[in-house]
Every structure is written in C-alpha cells, then in structure tokens.
Amino acid sequence: MQLIDQIPDVFLNFIITLVFALVIGIEQKKRSIDDAEHTPAFGTDRSFAFIGMLGFILYSLSPQSLVLFIAGLIAVSILLAVFYWSKVRDNKTYGITSILVALITYSLGPLIITQPKWLSVVIVVAVLILVERKEFLSNVSKGINMDEFTTLAKFLIIAGIVLPISPKSPDIPYLNISAYTIWLTVVVVSSISYASYLLQKFVFKKSGIMISGILGGMYSSTATTVILAKRSRELTGDTSNLFASSIITASAMMYLRILILMFIFNSTIGTLLLPYFGILIAVSLITSAVVYYIKRPVPEDASKNANGHTNPLELKTALLFAGLFVFFSLLTQYVLTSFGFGGLNILSYIVGFTDIDPFLLNLFQGKYSIGMDLIAKASLQAIISNNILKALYTYIFADKHTRKTAIAGLAVITIVNIILAIII
C-alpha cells in the first residue's frame, strides 16, 4: 500500500484513462469485424486510445478554463462529422453509435480526474454492455408495445408523483398511519410485482414453466397457481409433475416475497420470523425438487412456456390495494379493540382466503398494542389459509395428475406452517 501511495495521482489517472479507452477501442474494432452489414467503423482500437489520451492531456493542461479541452472536442467532432457524412454518402447507413462512443471516450480523462473512480467504471461498463448487446436490445424493443410505455408512465405516476406529494404527517384518524405510509406500501409492492413481470416478459419469456412459477410467485402465488393449474390441462405430454413442482415453487417465492416486505417495513418482525420463513422456504423448495425429480419431464416438455400473466401494474390495482390496506387497518383495529387477540386469530384465517398482502403489510406497520410474537403468529396463520385456497384452486383447475401431486406438496408445506405457527 505504501508503494501505491507514492505513485502520483496524475500517473494513475492517465493509466486508467488509457486502459479504459483501449478496452472501448478493442470492443469497437471487434464490433466492426463482426458487423454483418460491414459498415465502416471510426478508426481502430488505437484510435480510441489516442482519443482518450488527447482528452486527458488537453484537460490536464488547462483544467480551469477548459479552453484546450473544448478546442480538442471541436476538432474531434469535426473529424467525426466528416466520417459520418462519408458513411451516409457511401453506405446509406445512419447509425451514430461509434461517434457517440468516441465522444464518451474523449471525456474519460476529465471524468476520471474529477469524479469517483466507481463512476468511471460504471460508465465504461454501460458503454460496453449497450454496444455489445445491440441484438438483444433490438429484440427487446421489438417485443415492447405501446401499452408497456403506458404502464411505465403509470408506475412513474405512482412512485414519482403521488408518493412524494403524499403527506407524511399527521397520522390518519383511527389508522395511526400517514397517507405517505399507505402509498409507500403500494409503491413497494407494485415495484416487486412490476420487476417480476418485466423479467418474465422480456428476459425469461421462453424459459419455461418452472421460471413462470418462480417469477410469478414473486408477485402473486395465488394467481400463478391458477394459471399453472389451467395450463396443465392444455399442454400435451407428461408434464404433470413439472406443473405441480412449479405450483409449489410459486408458494416458496411467496414466503420469500413476504420476508422481503417484512424487512422493508418492520425489521423487528423480519428478524423474529427469519428462521421460520427460512424453514418454510427450504421445505417448499425441497418438496418442489422431490416432486420434480420423481418423474422428470422430457426436455421439450420442460421448455414449454406457461406465461399467462397480465401486467400487474395498473392504477386501478394500486388504488384497490390502497383501499384494502385502509380497510384492513380499520378492521384490524376494530377486531383488536372489541375481541382482543382471539378475534385477530380468527380474522387472520379468514383474510387468508382473500389478498393477504394488504392485511400482512398493515400488521407490519400498524401501531397496535400487541406484541411482535402475536403479529408474527397472525401472519403465519393468514398464510396457512392462503395455502389452503391455492390447494382448492389446484383441485378445481388442474388436471388429475397435477392436482394430486401439487395438493400433496402444498399439504406438506401447510403442515409445517401450522407447526411453526403453534410453536412461535
């Protein structure tokens, strides 16, 4: 470390600039060689290295006025403009990626000198990924329709407009929570659901039934169970164990999702329930693996996709969630006041046959005069009845082979859940 400390910063910054510029240049050269259209590239790998060096030198000579750096930028821009004009004239191609990359390379020197090194690394990595993954990004853009941009706009409204303007105080009467807390809950749950949906639609869209269970379970294990159960009747081939295993995996992801929400909104309950949920996740995954390997599907069956999810991020869904959150807050407060913890026990089992997330998140954030262990018990009890609901859906919608295996697996998970709810 003492030897490194003795090396002048200007030398280290120059070496970093040179290495980053050369890496970008090598990548640009490789892309020009692999380009199926054989369009001309701006310079070679050494050209990008020299561009990076030039930006570093001119900035270092005049870091205050930036006269030399700006003059160099103008000169490089003129050369790039001439190159672009020639490319359009001769090849009728209009892409400007290599030109933009050259300008970023020219800016590396000042960036490395003035900003934290991690920012430079992030920018270089982003350049390499965006250039190298051209085909992937093109395929993704082809799969995006206008509805996806509308959905993104809705998410920005939910997270970027409504949340910041929601009042953080005072607490709403009879609820002991603020409007900001309510909407923050909506944003967090919507973010998890939306991220899972995007991964399933654009990244793992052809990945098969099991991935549908994993990602679907992260935003709604109940909806995923219904979809997989219905699909088990439609696909041909011996896929019953695959569907059953995926349904069980969706429940494992439900436990993981709820555990994440616990640590986000109430780390005390999260810490208390971590070993219990760890056991339930492990039991669920082991059960799923056993079901899968009892009779493994052939590869062509395993690759079939069961994606039937619709976009979970809708404004009306967010408003419904917020309404349910307020409703369960009022109901829980009333039940605790009128019937005590015995009433909460009954309520938790009843709620499990509906959407449990608003109820559980209300328990995690509500300022109730009960112990954390009682809240933890009520949470596990709500999940018990929710598992029973999923088993009921499986019985109604799945084919007979999937129905038998999946219900047996869900029964194992539910029994373990019951035991943990009793001993907590």
CB distance 88 to 45 below 8 Å: no
Cβ neighbours of residue 351 closer than 8 Å, sequence gap 6 or more:
328, 359, 382, 385
* Spatial separation of the C-alpha atoms in residues 316 and 151, rounded to whole Å: 12
| Pair 129, 270 in one domain | no
Tokens 């349904």, residue?
A: 247
Task: Provide the 8-state DSSP code for 205.
Answer: T
* Spatial separation of the C-alpha atoms in residues 231 and 213, rounded to whole Å: 12
Instruction: Give this prediction's pTM.
Output: 0.67
| Pair 11, 35 in one domain | yes
| Pair 34, 177 in one domain | no
Cβ neighbours of residue 340 closer than 8 Å, sequence gap 6 or more:
none
Domain span including residue 6:
2-138
3-state per-residue secondary structure call for 8-20:
CHHHHHHHHHHHH
| Pair 66, 188 in one domain | no
Residue ending a domain, choose from 72, 103, 138: 138
| Pair 290, 393 in one domain | yes
Tokens 């050259």, residue?
A: 102
* Spatial separation of the C-alpha atoms in residues 224 and 202, rounded to whole Å: 18
Q: At what angle do helices 240-265 and 372-397 cross, to 10 degrees?
A: 160
Please tell me the total count of domains within the chain: 2
Residue 420: which H helix or E strand, with range?
helix 400-423
Task: Provide the 8-state DSSP code for 273.
Answer: H
| Pair 215, 297 in one domain | yes
Residue ending a domain, choose from 138, 161, 177: 138
| Pair 418, 286 in one domain | yes
pLDDT on residue 271? 93
Tokens of 129: 């990924």
| Pair 340, 270 in one domain | yes
Cα distance between the two ends of the chain = 51
| Pair 83, 200 in one domain | no
| Pair 125, 167 in one domain | no
| Closest residue by Cα to residue 53 from 100, 18, 79 | 18
Would you write out the chain's pLDDT as a tens digit for each of its 424 residues?
455 566 788 888 999 999 999 988 888 777 666 554 455 566 677 888 899 999 999 999 988 888 999 999 999 999 888 888 887 887 777 778 888 888 999 999 999 999 988 888 999 888 888 877 766 666 656 666 666 677 777 778 878 888 888 887 766 666 667 788 778 888 887 787 777 777 767 666 655 678 878 888 887 888 888 888 888 887 655 666 888 999 999 999 999 999 998 998 889 999 999 999 999 999 999 999 998 887 665 544 444 555 555 555 556 667 777 788 788 888 888 888 888 888 988 999 998 888 788 888 888 886 677 788 888 999 999 999 999 999 999 999 888 888 889 999 999 999 999 999 998 8
| Pair 266, 176 in one domain | yes
Tokens of 27: 């990548």
CA–CA–CA angle 97, 101, 102 (5° rounding) = 120
| Closest residue by Cα to residue 306 from 391, 215, 394 | 215
CB distance 344 to 370 below 8 Å: yes
| Pair 380, 241 in one domain | yes
* Spatial separation of the C-alpha atoms in residues 424 and 412, rounded to whole Å: 19
pLDDT on residue 297? 55
3-state per-residue secondary structure call for 142-187:
HHCCHHHHHHHHHHHHHHHHHHHHCCCCCCCCCCCCCHHHHHHHHH
Q: Number of helices (H) and strands (E), helices first, in the chain?
A: 20, 0
* Spatial separation of the C-alpha atoms in residues 256 and 263, rounded to whole Å: 11
* Spatial separation of the C-alpha atoms in residues 250 and 244, rounded to whole Å: 10
* Spatial separation of the C-alpha atoms in residues 273 and 267, rounded to whole Å: 10
Residue ending a domain, choose from 104, 138, 172: 138
Tokens of 235: 């696909």
